[in-house]
Homo-oligomer: A and B are copies of this chain.
């Protein structure tokens, strides 16, 4: 019998009525004849509420304790969903990350799944139970509760599907993957399918539908992923290996991200070592740097700009201030008013001139670019947020999104 891993996000289990609806859908799916593993997120705003309590008590709460705190959100959801399922005669058992053996490594609040002990799950599936697993959490080698970072429930679901050789269905509050976030560009089209590579870029770039690491795992283990609305009303989007058909489109989608800040290190005495020390210091603080640009030396001084998540800004500033005695005097400029626009497409590998078309479209719309980076299948640029709508429309029209 086939195993299906389903994941329901926080909005899908946002209140008791929705939990009952999800339970009914799970029961129906199970009666259609498959073995079901269900991963759930915390209900609605639970995680935010827990975090706000922690930050009320401390401006820098210990990450270890944040993990103990945040993991309760999913623990509440799994038990309630299990209670709802058993109530309608569908045998179910809930498991925390620790109980089911989701072993993690790395730092608290940003852990990665190292292994999953599938024996308990298999045993429960053989007893004909629906196995309900807390998303987003695990346990490290010291028996410490860990979490996988925001959106980590997707990672839990795809990793479980990989381990169990299952397909993975991600149910969320959007009905699939769009060429552009429809809240930003209402004319966006829903994609029938998208390749892992494209989805990974889109997810990394802030197209919030799925957690980037989950796509990475899906890609690595070739897990078929289906993203759809938790009410099941509309056909969703398949995430799968790319094929020729997909590559005929130059640009598959565009991501718009307002969560980054840009930092510029001004008049830094130029040396390769200085630049490496800066990014070393950021890495030590687990600050994820995305775009980087460097000016050519003028009088032996350079400017280095980079974008980071706004949340990491304080940590980045600490790191830079600490380097001043070592690297000599330099200025620091921060810009939290940036919008990152990215276009993504497998077709870019075989078709040239994409960057030229994009920048021409932007320039004709009088959009200034603050910083630009490119990879094999994406082009990103940071712009002023006030230009966002004009820029999105220009690019969407140019590439028929």
Q: Which residues of A contact B (CB under 8 A)?
A: 16, 19-20, 50, 53-54, 56-59, 61-62, 64-66, 68-69, 71-72, 75-76, 78-80, 82-84, 86-87, 93-94, 96, 98-99, 143-145
Contact = CB atoms under 8 A, between A and B. Distances in A.
For the complex of A and B, the 4 pairs showing the least CB-CB separation, nearest first, are A69-B79, A58-B87, A72-B72, A68-B79
Contact of A54 (B56, B59, B71, B80): B80
A86 B68 CA distance: 15
A64 B80 contact: no
Contacts of A94: 65, 68
Contacts of A56: 16
Number of copies: 2
Contacts of A16: 53, 56-57
A93 B64 contact: yes
B19 A57 contact: yes
Contacts of A96: 68, 145
A356 B143 CA distance: 59
A98 B87 CA distance: 27
Contacts of A71: 75
A111 to B, nearest CB: 16
A99 B50 CA distance: 21
A24 to B, nearest CB: 12
A327 B139 CA distance: 53
Contacts of A99: 143-145
Task: Name the residue among A72, A83, A93 with the largest chain B CB count within 10 angstroms.
Answer: A83
A58 B82 CA distance: 10
Contacts of A98: 98
Contacts of A144: 99
Given A20-B57, A57-B83, A62-B82, 11 more contacts: A16-B53, A53-B80, A57-B84, A57-B87, A61-B83, A65-B82, A66-B83, A68-B82, A68-B94, A69-B83, A98-B98
Given A65-B94, A96-B145, A143-B99, A84 B58 contact: yes
Contacts of A62: 82-83, 86
A247 to B, nearest CB: 47
A55 to B, nearest CB: 9
Contacts of A78: 68
A129 B364 CA distance: 63
A65 B53 contact: no
Contact of A76 (B58, B72, B82): B72
A101 to B, nearest CB: 9
Contacts of A66: 79, 83
A138 to B, nearest CB: 14
Contacts of A80: 53-54, 57, 65, 69
B58 A68 contact: no
A75 B68 contact: yes
A20 B56 CA distance: 10
Contacts of A69: 75-76, 79-80, 83
Nearest to A95: B68
A87 to B, nearest CB: 4
Contacts of A76: 50, 53, 69, 72
A281 to B, nearest CB: 24
A16 B54 CA distance: 9
A84 B86 CA distance: 39
A86 B59 CA distance: 11
B83 A65 contact: yes
A145 B94 CA distance: 11
Contact of A86 (B20, B65, B82): B65
